[in-house]
Amino acid sequence: MTLAELAARVDGTVRGDATVVIDDIASIEDVMPGSLTFAVDERYLRAALASRAAAVMTEPAVAGAIDAPRKPLLVVASARIALATLLADREPPRPQGPFRHASAVIDPTATIGPDVYIDALVVVGARANIGAETVLLAGSVVGADATLGRACMLYPRAVFLDRCVAGDRVALQAGAVVGADGFGYAFIAGALAKIPQIGNVVLGDDVEIGANACVDRAQTGSTTIGTGTKIDNFVQIGHNCQIGKHCGFASMVGIAGSTKVGDYTVIGGQAGLNGHITVGSRVRIAGGTHVWKDVPDGATMSGQPAREHREELRHQVRLRDLEKLYKRVSSLEQE
């Protein structure tokens, strides 16, 4: 497509030659002569203009920093949103049903909706309910009495276990496990004895669970993940957690059981949350933070243990000054 056609697709404007033909979209490191690349600050824009790219997509404030760019610019309100739109146009299509591979094992009591795609070695348990247009890729498992909504996607070897429930357009990436037993044990006669985990997991619409992430079933009741929440790879959600709507958890976050998280909360990678606490809505938790107690709505937290981010920054400055303070006190003592 020409740059002008791409601009029309993302409601952008072109500075320079709008007839340039774009062959692909690539980061600065991977550009070829026909590539459209992107830049969200002046440093990246200058690097992009010096690259082999045919054109650069950027935002008005960044574009204004360059008086006479050497390449055409596609100027958009949000480069990230425009990039999502353009990449979606190039994404490979989903498999289309109805299709059922001969090696799939489907219990005769399961209900399979229209236009469902069932790949090789898929297992669907007794009384499971699979919504229309859902795709089950190779080796994925849907347990007994489980329910998947419309247009869901289970990637290879994803597991959705007994009695769990998912809304529409839910995606489980490869190796994700939803509904494994929660970590519940009690010491009986000097040994750990398992407490039966008889609850389930309930996922709202448009939830995505990353590769090899785990969401444990509740001991009783339900572990819940709210509509639109996105969970990265290698995340652990403990039993009976209640996660709100439109949250985002980066890789290796761990949340202990019975913790509640509000809506629109974002948690950075490798953060850990204690069990039986409440984290409010629109909270931001920095990567590596250890959260041991309740967090109010709107807070920004960091540190080990967690504290308000500005307080943590002051704490880090004081820590850096300890060596100078130690030497000063030692000198005074010698005097």
Which residues are catalytically annotated? 239
Residues paired with 147 in a beta bridge: 129, 165
Instruction: Give the Cα separation of 74 and 3 in Å (integer).
Output: 7
Q: Cis before residue 156, ω within 30 degrees of 0? A: no
User: What's the order of all strands across the beta sheet hosting 105-106?
Assistant: 105-106, 123-124, 141-142, 159-160, 177-180, 214-216, 236-237, 254-255, 272-273, 290-291
Instruction: Give the Cα separation of 56 and 15 in Å (integer).
Output: 10
Closest CA to 161 of 128, 184, 132, 210: 128
Instruction: Give the Cα separation of 128 and 176 in Å (integer).
Output: 19
Instruction: Show contacts of 264-269: CB within 8 Å, 24+ apart.
Output: 269/232
Residues paired with 275 in a beta bridge: none
- Answer for the pair 264, 249: CB distance below 8 angstroms, yes or no: no
